[in-house]
Chains A and B, each alone.
Chain A
């Protein structure tokens, strides 16, 4: 017998209730030791006071938004984003490159969920890893929308520019739709370039099926072939690819690269078109690394390297005046 035993029984009576034997034991203790009544009163008071839950209630709506933000990527979408500076080398066997100022892509990965939209607000391209193993290199300002699965397909819509590395999966084809074209990946590596209401698809590896949304015409492209899709245009195969896959491995780092190609890569990465008025620049080559640089830094480097007199940014154009190279 002890105070502890009495406290134990009182606590149990408060929290859970006592069985008959325990009740009798407590009664005997209380009768035998009147001082315990004070203890009982204390315990009851404490018990009563602990009932106070406090007025705090979490904001479930806001919390749910946070949780939703965390779970959505892990199911269907990019699980992480990285800067371009890292390793494009990882971009493996199957790659699609989509380039354009205003074009639309669609792919389907999600089930039972509303479309989710991601916009690259950074000033440099971002790599997004997707759970199916595919990767998207999303250029600055580009927006990608992932749609709920309709069939067993992976499908996205994209506005702006992007580079896709598609993991081969025969059971779940990767579908890309632009405003002009629908592109079906059959396990491959290729570029899609869409701008000014045209989509250019250039295949560097494997097989790609391209259909025109306008004419419903369909064409198959293999490595080394490209085609242009647009309203009122016939689909024609051409033998030229704009970029090789290897060039994308090191997109913004180059050595003695003709300036026109440098501009092409910068346009791709920054979503700005470069325009210049000096013919002297046409024969120039550049060595440099623009990875992780913002557009203004890029312009400053170009200005000093090429002795450019002035520049102007007009909408999506960077206009360079003057300039030459030694």
Chain B
């Protein structure tokens, strides 16, 4: 068995194009769990996430001879996974389910201070992430969990770094607002009262 970790990305691309299955096995074991976690954060569904992750590799293998890729393998895989996941979500229309969840959360109107101490907070945040708009959620996930920089995300998704910055901030603001509606509103009112 070759030590594929000693190969550069471009060498591995060549091996893949030449039909070397072990090269695919190598990049599978290296990146598959990470890709699944992105998809899981996006969909909240482990089975769908695994399917999406696997499809990326099957698809890569099918068109390996036609690929002329300059980017890193991880970058390619993330991009492929991201597109596939966004399509999946669009097809599943899970937003409608998501909207129902948002309503359920907001109707509780918890006391912000209590919530802040609450054990429940983790769960609510996880749910709230799933309620973020799809593209906003994807960008937030790449930033937060994949530890990608704004410029890396921008390059990966073919958008400007400024858009990434706006989307990450939007995500965090939406998360924060969804968790503390009372204080949030209060704060905004107070702020406008005292703002010059």
Contact = CB atoms under 8 A, between A and B. Distances in A.
Interface of A: 1-4, 7-12, 14-16, 33, 35-36, 38-39, 42-43, 45-47, 49-54, 56-58, 60, 63-64, 66-68, 70-71, 74-75, 111-113
Interface string B41-53: 0000010011001
B144 A16 contact: no
Interface string B144-186: 1100011000000000000001101101110110011001000
Contacts of A9: 169
Given A39-B187, A67-B58, A74-B62, A12 B165 contact: yes
Contacts, number: 133
Contacts of B180: 42
A1 B191 CA distance: 10
Given A12-B168, A54-B126, A58-B50, A42 B33 contact: no
B172 A46 contact: yes
Contact of B37 (A1, A12, A56): A56
Contacts of A35: 187, 190-191, 194
Nearest to A112: B20
Contacts of B194: 33, 35
25 contacts: A7-B173, A7-B176, A8-B166, A11-B168, A11-B172, A12-B165, A12-B168, A12-B169, A15-B168, A16-B149, A16-B150, A35-B190, A42-B179, A43-B176, A49-B122, A56-B46, A58-B53, A60-B32, A63-B50, A63-B53, A67-B54, A68-B25, A71-B21, A71-B61, A74-B61
A49 B33 contact: no
Interface of B: 18-22, 24-25, 28-29, 32-33, 36-37, 40, 46, 49-50, 53-54, 57-58, 61-62, 116, 121-122, 125-126, 129, 143-145, 149-150, 165-166, 168-169, 171-173, 175-176, 179-180, 183, 187-188, 190-191, 194-195
A79 B169 CA distance: 47
Contacts of B150: 15-16
A128 B129 CA distance: 46
Given A58-B50, A60-B32, 18 more contacts: A7-B173, A11-B172, A12-B169, A16-B149, A16-B168, A35-B191, A46-B172, A46-B176, A47-B172, A50-B175, A52-B122, A56-B37, A58-B33, A60-B28, A67-B24, A67-B28, A71-B61, A75-B21
A15 B50 contact: no
